[in-house]
Amino acid sequence: MSAENKVRFEPHEKPSHLLAAGLGAQVTILIITGIMITPLIVSRTAGLDAGLTSWLVFAALLACGISTWLQVAKIGIIGGGFTLFVGSNVAFVSVNVAAIQHGGVALMAALVCAASVTTFIFTSKMGALRKILTPAVGGTVLMLMSLSIAPVVWKMLQKVPESFVGSPIIPMVFLATLLPIVIISLVSKKMLRLWAPLIGVVIGSLVAAQFGLVDTSKVADAPWIGLPQASWPGISLEFNEYFWTLLPTFVLITLVGCIETYADGISVQRTSYRQSKPIDFRSVQGAINADGLGSFIAGLLGTVPNTVYSMSVGVMELTGVAARRVGWWGGAFLMMLAFSPKICSIVTCMPSPVAGAYILMILVLLFGHGVRMVNEDDLTFEAGIAVCLGFWVGTGFQGGFLFNDMLPEWAKLFLSNGTTSGGITAILIMLFLSMRNQPKNKVVLPLNTASLLELRKLIQSFCKRLAWDEKAENRLMLIAEEALIFLLQNKQEAKNGDETKKLDMLHVRLTEIDHEAELEYISAPSNINAESALLSLNKVGESNEEDQISLRLIKGMAKDVKHLQYHGTDYLLLRVDSTA
C-alpha cells in the first residue's frame, strides 16, 4: 500500500452512522445518473413507451441497491465483504436494444437471467480459466463493446423533436455536455474528476432548457413517493431462435464483466487495509458471484443487468473509509430513491443529445479501460495475434464486410455483433495456446509423504530436459519438498467420506518460463495462505521457529511465491531460478 493510502476505517471497523451515511449518499449521487441513464437510453432506442421506461429505471435502482448489499455481505460464496457499489452495465446497451426489438422486455429479462448464471460457472472454474479468459481477452471484448454501442449514441443525437431537426442547437447542447466532462477530466484533481459526468449532464441540461428542449411538466406532476407507471413486464420462457442467437453475446459480455469485477475485487482489497495483505481470491469469487446474483435479480425485475462500479474504489482511496457500513447506507439510499417517481422523472426528461454525450464519454473510458487491460500483462506475440485478430474480425462482422450475406440467417444474427464474433475469435486462439502450452512435466499424486519419490523423479526429468546443473536441481527439489510439507501441515480436514479422496490428491505441474521453473501445486484448500505466512514469519530466535523451517527455506530459495486460494481449490505457484 502506498503512503498516500491512509485508511481511517477498515472493512470490519465501524465509523459513526452519520459519517457512513454521508459517504454513502456522496457515492449514490455520483453513480445515480449512470444507473438511470443506461435503462433510459435502452428504452428510447428500442422505442418503449413512458410507462415501461419508468419501470426499467425503477427496477434498475432497486436491483442496484440490493446488489450493493450483496457485495457488502458475505453469505457463503456470495459477496466479497467489501464496499463495492453496483450500477447499471452500459456494456449491454446494444444487445438489450436488440433483445427488446425482437421479443420485448420479457425476452431481454430472460436473457439477462440466463447469462447471469454463467457467472457462477466462471467462478467455479476461475483458477483453470485464468489462462484463457485473460485481461487481454477481456480488454479486446471491452473495446469491441464500445464500438458496438457507438451507433446507439449517434441515433440518440437524432432523436429530437421535429422542430429541432437540423437545428444548430442540437450540436450546441451536445458540446455543452461533452466539453465540461472532457475539460474537468483533463485538468482537475482526482476528487473533481469523479464529479465530471454529473457536472456535464447538469450544464448540458441547463443549456437545453434555455432553448426549450426540456419538458419539466412530467417532473412537476410526479409524486415524491410512489410506484412506476407500468407493471412488471414479465419474463419470456419461449426460448425461440432470437433467444439462442442473442444468448452468446449476453454470455460473453457477462464474462467480461466477471473479469472487470475480478480486477475491482483485487483493487478494493489493496485499498481497504492499513497493512499489505495477500489477495483473498475467495473474496474475489464472492464479489463476482454477487455480481451474477445481482444481475439475475435485475432480470427477474425486468430491467438491464448491473455490475460493480470502479468509482467506489476511487472514493474509498480519497476518503480512507473502507467500512462496510458505507455500503449498507449507500444500498439503502439507492433502494429508497427507486420509490421516488420525482427523482426518476428528472432523469427521464433529459434531452437525448445530453444523454448521448454522457454515454459517449463513458464509451471513451470503456475503450481506454480495454486498452489498459490488453496491456496489463506483458503481451506476448501469440497473445497479440489473439487480441488483434479478434478485434479486426469483430470489426469486420460488425460492419458487414466479412461475407455476412453468405451466412445463414441464424449465423448472420449471431456473428454480426462484433462483440460476439471478435470475442469468440480471441478466446479460441487463447484456448489453442493454452492447450499447446500444457506442461510436459505433470503428475497427480496422493497428498502424503509417500509421494516424495515420484515428485523427485518428475523434477529430475524436468531438470535433465533443461540441462540444469546439480545445484539447481537440488534447490528445486528442496523447495518442492518443503512446499509439499507445508500443504500437508495445513490441509483442511474432510467433512465426509466422499471428499476424502479429493482432499488427498495433489496435481503437480512443472513449466519452463523465461529459463526459470514454475512449480504449480493444485490441491484442496489449505487452512493457511503461504504468502500470509511468509509475511508474518517470526524473526530468527523468536518462538515457534521449528514450525517455520519449511517457510524459511521456501522464502530463502524461491524467487517468487504465489498462493491463490479459491473456493474448493488452492494454487500454490513457486518460481525457481536455475542460478543461485
pLDDT per residue over 30-66, tens digit each? 788 888 888 988 898 888 888 898 899 999 999 999 9
The CA distance from 458 to 441, in Å, is 7
**579 and 535 Cβ atoms separated by less than 8 Å:** no
Phi first, then psi, for residue 330 (nearest 5°) are -60, -45
Cα gap 574→569, rounded to integer Å: 16
pLDDT for 3 equals 41
Tens-place pLDDT, residues 265-303: 887 888 888 887 888 889 989 999 999 999 999 999 999
Residue 494 grid cell? 474432510
Is there a contact between 142 and 166 (Cβ–Cβ < 8 Å)? no
Q: Where are the domains of the chain?
A: 24-434, 441-577
pLDDT in tens, 499-542: 545 567 889 998 887 778 889 999 888 888 888 888 877 554 45
Instruction: Give pTM, 2 decimals.
Output: 0.80
- Residue 230 CA to residue 15 CA, distance in Å, equals 40
Domain spanning 441-577, CATH architecture: 2-Layer Sandwich (3.30)
